A and B are shown apart, each in its own frame.
Chain A
Amino acid sequence: MSSLLVISLAAAAVFAIAALGELLEQRAGILNVGLEGVMLLSGTFGFIAAKTSGSYLQGFTVALLTGALVGLLHGFFSITLGSNQVVNGMAIWILGFGLTTYIGYPYTGPLGLKPFPTVAGLPTFFLVALALAIAIWFLLFKTHLGLKLRSVGENPSVAEASGISVTGLRYLAAILAGMLVGLGGAVYSLVYNPVWNYNYLQGWGFIALALVFFSLWNPFLVVAGAVFFGILWQLSLYPELLFPNVFSRYIWRAMPFVITIVVFIVLSTRWFRLRWGATKPEALGLAYQREN
């Protein structure tokens, strides 16, 4: 049972790191529904780099750069060109899926490196995810930069009037987010399950995306939700552990999405709004053009 928990934490690290990246950019008003694509691209390029060089460091570096580049691209389309962010995100997913299938095919198979070291028996990257959650919480709520980022996500024209560069901050958020999401993809392909196969990610990017909404844009709830979703995923791999013969693995796998929908229903109730006020960044997914 404890080994189930450890492997769940390893899965949670992937969800949490990617979701924390997405949370950061959504707080600044940018929505990227193509997390799956970013993670596939970063994970695959990181995998290829690590496999050919034999170095984890190079693998992660390539993954971070890839993520930053895709983030920049998403930023260019949704910030500078002001195009529809959902459509962009879908395009990134399709691009990521197609490109990685094409480029990654010759590298199909195991990574062939020593397993990534753990810390006191715990998955290293789960600890990284925890540290990131604290850092992002501090950034968002305790620093001026964070206040500016949140303002840009709530009401860009007010932010602009307060002397803040909306464009600059949104680019910053998009690139940082791309790097974190890319890191999440690499943690999957290099550490959690270091065997490349086409479409190896099986929708984990979408779970991470759902996790951001589930968390109500709170970094700590992202980690808690990631652990929860991680356990659900492990149960889907070993459905006989709990309620054997009742729940098939596909029901366990659908759970994160079902739960997210339930959270959304609760979110939209009058009771919730009265109790907690507005939660969603008001300008999420909306393009902003400076008036002249």
Chain B
Amino acid sequence: MPLSAQGESDERSVGAARERSAGRVVLEARGITKRFGTVVANDHIDLTVRAGELHAVLGENGAGKTTLMRILFGELQPDEGEIYLDGQRVRFRSPRDALRHGIGMVHQERKLIPAHTALENIILGHPKTGAILNLREAEREVSALCERYGFRVPLHAKVWQLSEGEKQIVEILKELYHGARILILDEPTSVLSPPEIVKLLESLTRMAKEDLAVIPFITHKLPVVLEHCDRVTILRRGRVVAEMETRHATEQTLAAAMVGREVVLQLERVEVPLGDPIVRVQDLWVRDDRGLFAVQGLSFEIRAGEILGIAGVAGNGQEPLAEALAGLRPVERGTITLDSIDITHAPVLERWRRGLGYIPTERREVGSIPTFSLVDNVLLNYHFEREFSRWGILASGQARELTERILREYSVVAAGPNAPARSLSGGNLQKVILGRVLSRKPRFLIACLPTHGLDVGAAEFVQRKILEAKQSGTAVLLISEDLDEILALSDRIAAIYEGQFTGIVPASEASKELVGELMAGLRRERV
């Protein structure tokens, strides 16, 4: 990048002083506007990132963060507005183009090849890798990067063997190795436990001090943002509502700016008298796809009218646990009973008949068939019922009626019951899935990340419906990576770490700090 030597040395001396915010402007976006149909996803957004500062972009789901990010790294073209790098106007035609200009992107979904080693992933595609691989030289270079920024990751391990946090570090290293000077991170904290988040942000701060611009885009975890970031730009409904230095901000001002003047509906946890235990799980052992024990001897029970929240960082056994309960994954050892009937090895259909309801994590893969109509998708949970199928012939009228009722009751925005599932937004599709399950009046509901990726309105709706189900006597197992959601909804909270519960605490005694430490495996309560 063209950079006058004089300017650089000036900035260095200034950067050495405490006044880091006075650094040179590296990246500037002016008046970025992007429309999708009638929706204005980005409305004249300005963003100024200076060298030497850690600058976070905050905003709720649907605030326009994703669109802005995609524009900054060249995946989308803005309708209006300009991007300047080191004062020069640039236009990115593709992500590769953006990378050539030094913009690196760390996605939320990993862009790594599991069968290759971490090092191979890092050097892949870089021109300086040369025709014949010099892994030793590459390793020296990557190790130096690790040293400099305080990362620790086994470079010769295959990526499939790494934890989610390590994979994220590999991605960061890859971008740095490929010459990124501006690093955009999409929700870098979402797969990490609270202590891991602190470590990552410390590393990012070190990077920011070395003339790299680091821009994490974050939805939650405001306290860490306050502690580690120098400056924040806050988006709401596609606009910049505030840009401030964090030392002038408090958690409250940030939250207020993010949410705006809209009334934040604090969900009231209604205590209902607990009924009999509905679900009882004893010493459950389940393997993951790799054949390792992902669930290691879990025991718990859930009573009628109770929500048990499972708090944990992604990949600590939540998914295999839910799948084993739903009958999609074999149980190696232990028992599961539903209303005192052993369903440990029962087929899926029998579980449904006995009153199990399941909201899977992947709404477009497991939760629905995207090319099917909504009616057919609803039927997937009902086709085995007598009223919906007689002598193998589907009662389409019934199915249509039920679908229409769900669309109405759950205020789903859709072209109609015959619209294909893939035409719905994530929030609306989730409402259909939820309505389909709850219309069965399940005895036991398993809800996996029910509000993940939904906008505020839809998320709140889903949460309210789950609370309603609980009030009507359903036993609910709530799995979520959003600690706030767990704390707001659950009656009891079980923290899971590496397939084991590190503690089960009643909501009244649960604080964010306590559960955070439990889910990081730093602390164990008697279970």
- For A150, A158, A278, the residue with the greatest tally of chain B CB atoms inside 10 Å of its CB is A158
Give the residue of B95, B126, B161 whose beta carbon is less than 8 angstroms from that of A161: B95
Contact B111 A278, beta carbon cutoff 8 Å: no
Binding stretch for chain A, among B112-120, B260-268, B370-378: B112-120
Contact of B214 with A by CB under 8 A: no
Contact of B136 with A by CB under 8 A: no
Residue of B nearest to A144 (CB): B129
Contact A278 B133, beta carbon cutoff 8 Å: no
Contact A163 B99, beta carbon cutoff 8 Å: yes
Say how far A113's CB is from chain B's closest CB, in angstroms: 39
Contact B131 A158, beta carbon cutoff 8 Å: no
Say how far B138's CB is from chain A's closest CB, in angstroms: 10
**Bound: A281/B132 CA distance, A:** 22
Give the residue of B114, B124, B131 whose beta carbon is less than 8 angstroms from that of A164: B124
Contact of A170 with B by CB under 8 A: no
- For A151, A157, A162, A273, the residue with the greatest tally of chain B CB atoms inside 10 Å of its CB is A162
Contact of B130 with A by CB under 8 A: yes
Contacts of A36 in B (CB 8 A): none
Contact of A109 with B by CB under 8 A: no
Whether A159 contacts B115 in the complex (CB less than 8 A), given A142-B133, A270-B291, A274-B291, comes out as no
Contacts of B99 in A (CB 8 A): 163
Contact B132 A154, beta carbon cutoff 8 Å: no
Contact of B290 with A by CB under 8 A: yes
Contact B290 A155, beta carbon cutoff 8 Å: no
Whether A144 contacts B116 in the complex (CB less than 8 A), given A162-B124, A273-B291, comes out as no
Contacts of B132 in A (CB 8 A): 142-144
Give the residue of B125, B287, B291 whose beta carbon is less than 8 angstroms from that of A159: B125
**Bound: A157/B95 CA distance, A:** 12
Contact B116 A278, beta carbon cutoff 8 Å: no
Whether A155 contacts B124 in the complex (CB less than 8 A), given A143-B131, A144-B129, A278-B160, comes out as no
Whether A161 contacts B290 in the complex (CB less than 8 A), given A142-B133, A277-B158, comes out as no
Contacts of A274 in B (CB 8 A): 290-292
Residue of B nearest to A162 (CB): B125
Whether A158 contacts B96 in the complex (CB less than 8 A), given A143-B132, A163-B125, comes out as no
- For B115, B116, B120, B126, the residue with the greatest tally of chain A CB atoms inside 10 Å of its CB is B115
**Bound: A270/B126 CA distance, A:** 35
Contact B291 A158, beta carbon cutoff 8 Å: no
Contacts of B95 in A (CB 8 A): 161
Whether A278 contacts B131 in the complex (CB less than 8 A), given A148-B124, A163-B96, comes out as no
Contact A147 B111, beta carbon cutoff 8 Å: no
**Bound: A142/B134 CA distance, A:** 8
Contact A155 B113, beta carbon cutoff 8 Å: yes
Whether A277 contacts B160 in the complex (CB less than 8 A), given A143-B131, A145-B131, A158-B111, comes out as yes
Contact with B along A272-284 (1 / 0, CB 8 A): 0110011001100
State the main secondary structure of chain B at its contact with A: loop
**Bound: A159/B174 CA distance, A:** 13
Say how far A118's CB is from chain B's closest CB, in angstroms: 33
Contacts of A154 in B (CB 8 A): 113-116
Contact B133 A159, beta carbon cutoff 8 Å: no
Contact A273 B290, beta carbon cutoff 8 Å: yes
Contacts of A162 in B (CB 8 A): 111, 124-125
**Bound: A158/B113 CA distance, A:** 7
Contact A143 B116, beta carbon cutoff 8 Å: no
Contact B125 A164, beta carbon cutoff 8 Å: yes
Contact B124 A147, beta carbon cutoff 8 Å: yes
Residue of A nearest to B287 (CB): A270
Contacts of A155 in B (CB 8 A): 113-114
Residue of A nearest to B105 (CB): A161
Contact A151 B290, beta carbon cutoff 8 Å: no
Contacts of B290 in A (CB 8 A): 273-274
- For A144, A146, A154, A274, the residue with the greatest tally of chain B CB atoms inside 10 Å of its CB is A144
Contacts of B125 in A (CB 8 A): 148, 151, 159, 162-164
Whether A151 contacts B116 in the complex (CB less than 8 A), given A163-B125, A277-B160, A278-B160, comes out as yes
**Bound: A280/B414 CA distance, A:** 41
Whether A158 contacts B112 in the complex (CB less than 8 A), given A151-B124, A164-B124, A277-B158, comes out as yes
- For B161, B287, B290, the residue with the greatest tally of chain A CB atoms inside 10 Å of its CB is B290
Say how far B443's CB is from chain A's closest CB, in angstroms: 33
Say how far B404's CB is from chain A's closest CB, in angstroms: 35
**Bound: A151/B174 CA distance, A:** 15
Contact A144 B133, beta carbon cutoff 8 Å: yes
Say how far A29's CB is from chain B's closest CB, in angstroms: 12
Contacts of A142 in B (CB 8 A): 132-133
Contact B130 A282, beta carbon cutoff 8 Å: no
Say how far A94's CB is from chain B's closest CB, in angstroms: 32
**Bound: A143/B134 CA distance, A:** 8
Contact A278 B114, beta carbon cutoff 8 Å: yes
Contact with B along A106-146 (1 / 0, CB 8 A): 00000000000000000000000000000000000111111
Contacts of B130 in A (CB 8 A): 144
Contacts of B161 in A (CB 8 A): 277
Contacts of A281 in B (CB 8 A): 115
Say how far B186's CB is from chain A's closest CB, in angstroms: 14
Contact A161 B111, beta carbon cutoff 8 Å: yes
Contact B116 A150, beta carbon cutoff 8 Å: yes
Say how far A258's CB is from chain B's closest CB, in angstroms: 27
**Bound: A146/B116 CA distance, A:** 12
Contacts of B287 in A (CB 8 A): 270
Give the residue of A145, A148, A163, A277 whose beta carbon is less than 8 angstroms from that of B115: A277
**Bound: A159/B124 CA distance, A:** 8
**Bound: A142/B120 CA distance, A:** 11
**Bound: A147/B130 CA distance, A:** 11
Contacts of B126 in A (CB 8 A): 163
Contacts of A143 in B (CB 8 A): 131-133
Within 8 A of B (CB), among A256-292: 270, 273-274, 277-278, 281-282
Residue of A nearest to B135 (CB): A142
Contacts of B158 in A (CB 8 A): 277
Say how far B70's CB is from chain A's closest CB, in angstroms: 12
Say how far B77's CB is from chain A's closest CB, in angstroms: 11
Contacts of A277 in B (CB 8 A): 115, 158, 160-161
Contact A151 B113, beta carbon cutoff 8 Å: yes
Contacts of B120 in A (CB 8 A): 147
Say how far B27's CB is from chain A's closest CB, in angstroms: 21
Contact with B along A151-191 (1 / 0, CB 8 A): 10011011101111000000000000000000000000000
Closest 9 CB pairs of A and B: A162-B125, A270-B291, A163-B125, A144-B129, A154-B113, A162-B124, A274-B291, A155-B113, A278-B115
* Given A144-B130, A148-B124, A277-B115, 19 additional A-B pairs, CB 8 A: A142-B132, A143-B131, A144-B123, A144-B129, A144-B131, A144-B133, A145-B131, A147-B116, A151-B116, A155-B113, A157-B111, A159-B113, A161-B96, A161-B111, A162-B124, A163-B96, A163-B99, A163-B126, A278-B160
22 A–B contact pairs at CB < 8 A?
Answer: A142-B132, A143-B133, A144-B131, A144-B132, A144-B133, A145-B131, A146-B133, A147-B123, A148-B124, A150-B115, A154-B114, A154-B115, A158-B111, A159-B113, A161-B95, A161-B111, A274-B290, A274-B292, A277-B161, A278-B114, A281-B115, A282-B113
